[in-house]
Structure formats: structure tokens, C-alpha cells
Amino acid sequence: MIAAFFGLILSQLLWTGQASKTIPYSEFLQDLRGGRVAEVVLSDTSIQGKYTAPDAEGHRSFATTRVEPGLAAELDRYHVRFSASPGGGWLATLLSWVVPIVFWVGIWWFMLRGAARQGAGGLLAIGKSRVKLYVESDTGVTFDDVAGVDEAKAELREVVAFLRDPVSYGRLGAHMPKGVLLVGPPGTGKTLLAKAVAGEAGVPFFSISGAEFVEMFVGVGAARVRDLFEQAHNHAPCIIFIDELDALGSARGLSVLGGHDEKEQTLDQLLAEMDGFDTRSGVVILAATNRPEILDPALLRAGRFDRHVLVDRPDRTGRAQILKVHLRTAKIASDVDPDKVAGLTPGFTGADLANLVNEAALHATRRDAEAVAMEDFTAGVERIVAGLEQHGRLMNPKERLTIARHEMGHALVALSLPGADPVHKVSIIPHGIGSLGYTMQRPTEDRFILSRGELADRMAVLLGGRAAELVCGGDLSTGAADDLAKATDTARAMVLRYGMSDKIGHVVYDDQSRPYLDRLNEPNVAQTREHSEATAALIDKEVRSILQAAFEKATHVLEERRGTLEAGAQLLVDRETLDEDELRQLLARTGLAGTQSTAAA
Ligand code: ADP
Ligand code: ZN
């Protein structure tokens, strides 16, 4: 590169030499007097000019270095041939050129090296940058190594079947999704699952982390995405796994810090690549995130990551299964019972459990034991819990009971009211991200219209959580905020949109239900308030009384079933998840079987 610069300088020197000649100042004065100079350009130190006609050697122009006018006149008087040397000679001129260039090139090179060390491949390598890929031709992981996430496994089996035989899979026109998004908290086994899919299908596993795409130089990330897909296509069928998709694909405008353009370019390239390939080529993209809510909606559109698989924290049974997987390689004393250890570790993820087995083994080694015993596990649990609690992760026993009562409240009210959907599952394990427990209801059929009674029952179910907290003698908790918001929405809709309030009558006040054009046609109406202050007060009152009635209904149901509520909450603390069967057994045991028909009015 430096040679190129020298070449440039040299050619410039040659060129100027041909076009004009450098002459002594005395010669310039002679030319001037002889009328051979047509025009001149003056600078502080030099004079450049054009001859009226080419001289003997064919030069059309000249340059000379200025001499102080007084001295020049004196010298000229004695007909001395004289010239000035241009400020320190040609070497100094050349150096004043070259030194800054060398300096800047040096800095540039230094920065490139820095970028290269960060894994970018550097600016020089943009065009042919090889992605720092982690390729495993055989991951060696199977579904047996992943435990406690049966639903996610079941969903991914289809991907395995497809990868094993992409051609005949598409025989009947069946479509394989291009992108599957694994959603769940960190450490729940998303990476492990993706590897297991590759292992089960016996295909190569290309993996890269979204965080790695966020590079210093614009354009590098996009080039890497292009490369990644190119390489994957050459190895199809295969899996591309993108960890931390949110680092790359968070919604535009969300990132305040730099790297913005870069991220957008990389994301656009990823979208383009995903749109550009045919699933029949046998490439499936799996991605993982624990923050699906911040992903750019463009990523989730049909034909991209349109299938989502939830990878939740394991419940007690799940934890016991995960422990069994990790205990396979450890030497275990006979007193170790995975179920008991699972009971000690609420809120642990798969990664926490793997860590626990390791801690226990270390503990046993330190005390020179023959095998890892139960005492090592209890010691390990204490250590890990202390660490996790620092990050505010685990629920304490009192919180667990509060959540269990709350969820059981939802479930019991739902089981008791005819207008509510049947309960499928109750759990105090956080579901997905950012929730406490959950109660899953399964609608028996698709519904297009709902009656006032059904809406009232649904609101009672929503308020059942808070009602249970009160019925059991607890204080109000913040855990019901979501429920309250949903119930309030329903109540407002009943009054404002569906005209279901007796006091207000069959009137619609919700302006959203009126087409915009209608409002334009009646400008007077559009500009005034839709209802008077008095009506507004009445609406508020009606919404509140509908909610109050629903809350009382829930409370009534739960007070009648207080024994079941308490027993159910205890069972839930113990088992963490209760399914339909277990709930039915609970109701039978506490003498409330078949309450779904004996509804409270
Ligand atoms: P994620 O990608 O969801 O953050 P990983 O797949 O990286 O989690 O999990 C880290 C480690 O934790 C795994 O390598 C494995 O040892 C352990 N692990 C996590 N989940 C499970 C599980 N469901 N079954 C068995 N081991 C698990
Ligand atoms: Zn709730």
C-alpha cells in the first residue's frame, strides 16, 4: 500500500516535469522582459506561469521560486544568474508529504487490527469475511439429554422428521416453517434443544450469537449473515442456530446506543436471506430469545420466525427428570433421591440444576467421600440459592403460598361457574417471561358472541385470584394487577360498547365503534363531547358496580369452598403444577366433584 503512495507521488512529479519546467528566477525575469510570459499565478513562495508560445523544449508553462524583490533587482543589475531554493529542498518537501501519510496509514492499520481481533475479520476482509461459525458436524446431543420440556420436544420432533428427509417430507406439498423461535428464560435449555434437534436428525449444526453480529464497522454484520447462509446451503440439510436473537433483531428505534445502522443492515440482510430461500433446500433456522417482546415485528412475520416454542422453567417433576439426566455421569450414594432434590429447588432452571450436580460433586470431593450424597446436595442448594436470591430470582415460601392461593382461586372459580372455560392446568411456575403463576383454561369451542352472564363469569374468574388472597385471610398483593386490568376492560366494554348496563341502557358510547366517516359527516357531534358529565359519572359508577358484583361472586364461590381452596393451595405449593386430572381428584376428595354444574348464581 505504501508503495502505491510512492508511485502516486512519483507520477505526479513526472507529470509536472513534462507540462512545465522549473526555471531560475533570473531566467523568469528575462522571459518577462522579453515578452515571453503570458500569465502568472503568484503564491507566497513561488510563481507559476504560462509562456506566450512553447519554448525550444516544448514547455508551455514554467514554475520558479520567488526571490526577495530588492535583492532580485540588485542581482539583475549585475546580470547574475540566480534562483531560490524552494524552502529546504525537495527532500523536505517530500518528507512533509510522506510523514503525515505514513502516520495516518499507521493509525488506520492499527484500528483495523483492533477490529480484526474482535472477530470482524477486519475491513480489509469485508468482501470475503468468513463467519466465525461454530460448526458441529455431529452435536452428539439427543432428546434424551433434554428433560422436563416435553411440550417443546414434541413440537420440535416435526423439524427432526423434516431434516431427516426433506425431499419426501415435501412430497405432498407440506411446508416446513423456515424459522422456529425458542422462547424462554436463560438456562432453560434452548441451546441444548437446538443441538438435540441437529443430533436427532444427524445434520450439521451452525451456530452464532446475535450479540456477535453487532460489530464496529457497518457492513460487516450483513456480510457475515450472507456467508452464514451460503455455508449452510452448502451443507444442507442442516440447522442454523442464532442465539440471543434479540441482540440483533430488537425493534428499530429501540436502541439508544450506537451500532444502530449496523444492526439495521444486519437485520435487513437476515430478513432478505430468510425470504430468499426455499424450505425444501433443507435449512431450518432455530433462534433463541428471552425477550420476544422487543423483537422487531418484521422478524415474526409469516415465512420468517412464525413458529414459537415456549421453553419454560421446569416444574418439580421436570426438575427431577433433569437431575436424572445430569446424575448419569456422577457417582451417587444410595441416599440421593432426585425427587427430593427437586423439592428443594423451586425456581431452578436446567442450567442451575446442572450447576447443582457439579457443586454437589465438588463438595463430596472436598470431604473425601466415596460418592455424592444427599448432604452434598443440600449444601450445594444452599450455595446456589444464596447466589440466585441476590438476583431476586427465587420465590420465598410465603410468596409461593400467596401465588398458590391466587392461582387456585382462579381455578376454583373457573371450575365452579357455568360461563367459564374449563381449567386445563394450574401452576405456580412462572409462565414464559414476567409472570408469576398461571391458570390455563381451554375454551371448549370457538365463540363469536358471549352473553352477559358469560362475561360476568369470566370477570369473576379473573377476580378469583385476588378474592382468594382475601378469603384466605391474606393481605392484598400486587400480583393481581394484570387480572384487574383485564376485568376492568371487560366491564367497560359491557357498559360502553355492548349496552349491557341497565342504568345506561342500550346505548353505545364507545366512539371507536362508530366509523370515522360517520363522525366527519356530523361535524357538530364530532367536536362536542359524546356524553355529558353526568353520563360520564354514571358510566364510571356502572363499571365499578359490575366489577364489584363479579368480585362478590368470586368471593362467594371461594368462601363456600374454602377447604378445597386451602388444600389445593398446599398441594400446588408442593407439586407446583396441577393438571385437569389432579384438580378433579382434589375436588372429589374435598367433596366438591362436579361443581361445574352447581353454579353459584
Ligand atoms: P439456554 O440456551 O436456554 O440459555 P442452555 O441450553 O445453554 O440454556 O443450557 C445450559 C446448560 O444447562 C445445558 O448445557 C445443560 O447442561 C443444562 N440444561 C438446561 N436445560 C436443561 C434441560 N431441560 N435438560 C437437561 N439439561 C439442561
Ligand atoms: Zn391472577
DSSP state of 251: P
Render pLDDT for 18-48 as a digit per residue (tens, 0 to 9): 567 888 888 888 888 888 888 888 777 788 8
pLDDT exceeds 70 at position 312: yes
- Per DSSP (E only), the strands in 170-304 are 179-183, 205-209, 238-243, 283-289
Nearest residue to 174 via CA among 161, 187, 188, 192: 161
Residue 189 Cβ contacting ligand 1 at under 6 Å? yes
Q: Please give the distance, rounded to the nearest whole angstrom, from the Cα atom of residue 435 to the centre of ligand 2.
A: 9
Whether residue 348 contacts residue 312, with contact meaning beta carbons closer than 8 Å, is answered with: no
CA 346 to centroid of ligand 2, rounded, Å: 20
Residue 340 to residue 80: CA distance in whole angstroms: 111
Is this prediction's pTM over 0.85?
Answer: no
CA geometry: angle 300, 301, 306, nearest 5 deg: 60
Residue 435: which residues within 8 A CB-CB, separation 6 or more? 482
Residues 393-442: tens digit of each pLDDT: 666 778 888 889 999 999 999 999 888 888 888 888 776 555 577 777 77
Question: Whose alpha carbon is nearest atom 18 of ligand 1?
Answer: 350
Q: Which 8-state DSSP code applies to residue 467? A: H
334 Cβ contact list (under 8 Å, min separation 6): none
Q: pLDDT digit string (tens) for 279-303? A: 777 889 999 998 888 888 888 888 8
Distance, in Å, from the CA atom of 141 to the CA atom of 205, rounded to the nearest integer, reads 11
Residue 180: per-residue pLDDT: 93
Residue located nearest, by CA, to atom 7 of ligand 1: 191
What single-letter amino acid sits at 39?
Answer: E
- For residue 243, the SS3 value is strand
Task: Report all structural domains of the chain as residue ranges with CATH numbers, in order of start.
Answer: 2-87 (3.30.720.210), 90-125 (no CATH), 132-310 (3.40.50.300), 316-386 (1.10.8.60), 397-600 (1.20.58.760)
SS3 68: coil
HSE-up of 83 (CA within 13 Å, CB side)? Answer: 15
407, 469, 542, 576: the catalytic one is 407
* pLDDT of amino acid 600: 37
Q: Residues 163, 203: contact at Cβ < 8 Å?
A: yes
Contact between 399 and 573 under an 8 Å Cβ cutoff? The reply is no
Q: Provide, rounded to the nearest whole percent, the portion of the chain with pLDDT above 70.
A: 79
Cα separation of 315 and 182, whole Å? Answer: 18
Bigger pLDDT: 254 vs 181: 181
pLDDT digits (tens, 9 = 90+) for 513-556: 455 445 445 544 444 456 778 888 888 899 999 999 999 999 99
Amino acid at 110: F
Q: Which residue, among 218, 225, 46, 59, has the nearest Cα to 132 in the 3D structure?
A: 225
CA of 353 to the centre of ligand 1 (A): 9
Helix (H, G, I), strand (E, B) or coil at 450: coil
Alpha helices in 333-373 (DSSP H): 338-344, 350-366
Distance 522 CA to ligand 1 centre (A): 62
Q: Counting ligands in written order, which one lies closest to the CA of residue 409?
A: 2
Average pLDDT, stretch 465-480?
86
Q: What is the pLDDT of residue 10?
A: 52
SS3 category, 83: coil
pLDDT at 222: 80
Determine whether 407 is an active site residue: yes
Atom 27 in ligand 1: residue holding the nearest Cα: 350
123 pLDDT higher than 80: no
Q: Note the pLDDT of residue 565.
A: 94
Please report the pLDDT score of residue 295 as a whole number.
Answer: 85
Q: Which residues of 570-600 are buried (b: 16+ CB within 10 A; e: fewer)?
A: ebbbebbbbeeebbeebbeebebeebbeeeb
Bigger pLDDT: 445 or 169? 169
State in Å: Cα 349 to ligand 1 middle.
8
389 φ, ψ to 5°?
-65, -30
Indicate whether 17 pLDDT > 50. Answer: no
Answer whether 319 contacts ligand 1 (Cβ < 6 A).
no
Mutate-to-test residue for ligand 1 from 149, 156, 192, highest number of ligand atoms within 8 A of CB: 192
Q: Is the pLDDT of residue 325 over 50?
A: yes
146 ligand 1 Cβ < 6 A: yes
Distance CA 528, CA 505 (A): 21
- Band the pLDDT of 129: cuts 50, 70, 90: very low
Model confidence pLDDT, tens digit, residues 559-586: 999 999 999 999 999 888 898 889 989 9
Average pLDDT score over residue span 61-83 = 78
Answer whether 325 contacts ligand 1 (Cβ < 6 A).
Answer: yes
Reported as a pLDDT band with limits 50, 70 and 90, residue 503 is confident
Q: Across-strand partners of 63?
A: 22, 48
Using a 6 Å cutoff on CB, does residue 338 contact ligand 1?
no
pLDDT for the residue 392: 60
Closest ligand 1 atom to residue 195 Cα is 6
Phi, psi angle pair for 332, to nearest 5°: -115, 135
pLDDT of residue 120 exceeding 60, the answer is no
CA of 354 from ligand 1 middle (Å) equals 8
Give the number of other Cβ atoms within 10 Å of residue 257's Cβ.
6
Q: Using a 6 Å cutoff on CB, does residue 318 contact ligand 1?
A: no
Q: How far apart are CA 274 and CA 268, in angstroms?
A: 10
Which helix H or strand E contains 292, and what residues bound it? none
> Where residue 6 falls among pLDDT bands split at 50, 70, 90?
low
Which residue, 87, 111, 91, is CA-closest to 99? 91
Cα(264)–Cα(258) distance, rounded to whole angstroms? Answer: 11
What pLDDT does residue 94 have? 75
State how far the Cα of 237 lies from the Cα of 204, in Å rounded to an integer: 8
Select the more confidently predicted residue: 118 or 157: 157
Residue 470: pLDDT over 50: yes
Choice among 159-163, 410-414, 438-442, 464-468 with the minimum mean pLDDT: 438-442
- The least confident of 62-71, 131-140, 356-365, 470-479 is 131-140
The 3-class secondary structure across 148-201, one letter per residue, is CCHHHHHHHHHHHHHHHCHHHHHHHCCCCCCEEEEECCCCCCHHHHHHHHHHHH
Residue 577, ligand 1, Cβ within 6 A: no
| DSSP conformation letters of 97-144 | HHHHHHHHHHHHHHHHHHHHHTTS--GGGGGGPPP--EEES-----GG
CA distance 248 to 375: 44
DSSP codes joined into one string, 535-569: HHHHHHHHHHHHHHHHHHHHHHHHHHTHHHHHHHH
* Mean pLDDT for the chain overall: 79
The band of 447, judged by pLDDT with boundaries at 50, 70 and 90, is: low
Long-range contacts of 532-538 (CB under 8 A, 24+ apart): 535/504, 535/509, 538/503, 538/504
| Separation between Cα atoms, residue 381 and residue 249, nearest integer Å | 36
Between 300 and 110, the more confident residue is 300
Distance between CA 336 and CA 342 in Å, rounded? 11
Interval 199-217: pLDDT, tens? 999 999 988 888 776 655 6
32/37 Cα distance (integer angstroms): 5
- What is the edge-to-edge ordering of all strands in the sheet holding 37-42? 20-22, 61-65, 46-51, 37-42
User: pLDDT band at 598, cuts 50/70/90?
Assistant: very low
Q: Is the pLDDT of residue 323 over 90?
A: yes
CA–CA separation, 38 and 238 (whole Å) = 76
Please say whether the beta carbons of 431 and 311 come within 8 A: no
> CA torsion angle for 114, 120, 121, 124 (degrees, to 10)?
-70
